[in-house]
Amino acid sequence: MLQSTLIEAARAGAAEILRYFQGTFRVDNKEGINNLVTEADHASEKAILSVIRNAYPDHMILAEESGKSHQTDEYKWVVDPIDGTVNFAHGIPLNAVSIGIEKNGEIIMGVVYNPHLQEMFFAEKGIGAFLNDKPIRVSNEKKVIKSCLVTGFPYIYLDQPNGPLEVFARFVRKGVPVRRIGSAAIDLCWVAAGRFDGFYEHKLEPWDSAAGSLIVTEAGGMITNHQGNEFSIYQHAVLASNGWIHDELVGVLNNTHEL
């Protein structure tokens, strides 16, 4: 029942995304220039939470726009109603619902659904990762210099030492293609599907990575912090890869390895 509720919740949120997409809706700013929240974010989150609470009224929910509920059940749903809000607000169809389910501190199930491309990524701990019910695997690229990477930039802290701009320059000055598509959840899923070989970002929140992190590992990939240590959705720095290039990426991120 967990899986069916998860999928139902993702579809409910996605329906609101499609209802508002390229229409007229209210847009507000959060912290930082262009850190947007829209009327559609709130509508999607409301639809998602309604499905979850109807099925599991005692489960805790951590949602981007409404914060944390106070239930004390062993299960926690980590919800991003629209990952890629800036894309959404500009009519760019690279945005998605992202929902992860945590049990006793471990992500056990997750879904990322982009309704514009009709791509639903799903993973369950120990079972595998899937795109529209078909198994997916990470790429086999073994060298960073031949890889295609993806990243994102935070709304603040861009110029910190060894920060996003410095790291980005290390890659692109050596000719490594680094894309920025504007949705961390989709970035992670595209690593899982082998479209990208690696993804890094300096400042994500739990709802950005809860589902995607599991999808990567269940597709055979690796996810850590920037130092190569154990990953937690509750810390900001994320590095995900196909596993083959992971150590080399850690070196570039920390300026201990030159391409």
Whether 230 is catalytic is no
Contact 215, 192 (CB under 8 A): yes
Measured N-to-C along each axis, helices 246-253 and 164-172 cross at an angle, to the nearest 10 degrees, of: 120
Whether 73 is catalytic is no
Q: Residue-wise over 180-210: b if at least 16 C-beta within 10 A, else e?
A: ebbbbbbbbbbbbbbbbbbbbbbbbebbbbb
Whether 208 is catalytic is yes
Q: Among residues 16, 52, 61, 85, which one is catalytic?
A: 85
User: Where do the DSSP E strands lie in 90-203?
Assistant: 96-103, 106-114, 119-124, 128-131, 134-135, 149-151, 178-179, 198-201
User: Where do the DSSP E strands lie in 60-133?
Assistant: 60-63, 67-68, 75-83, 96-103, 106-114, 119-124, 128-131
Whether 80 is catalytic is yes
Contact 249, 240 (CB under 8 A): no
Whether 64 is catalytic is yes
Q: Among residues 141, 208, 218, 248, which one is catalytic?
A: 208
Q: Among residues 16, 41, 45, 64, which one is catalytic?
A: 64
Count of residues in the chain: 259
Whether 82 is catalytic is yes
Measured N-to-C along each axis, helices 39-55 and 2-20 cross at an angle, to the nearest 10 degrees, of: 160
Q: Among residues 48, 52, 61, 82, which one is catalytic?
A: 82
Q: Among residues 41, 45, 65, 80, which one is catalytic?
A: 80
Residue whose structure tokens are 């959840």: 185
Question: Token pair for residue 250?
Answer: 């850690």
Q: Among residues 41, 45, 65, 83, which one is catalytic?
A: 83
- What distance in Å separates the CA atoms of residue 229 and residue 174, rounded to the nearest whole number? 26
Catalytically annotated residues: 64, 80, 82-83, 85, 208
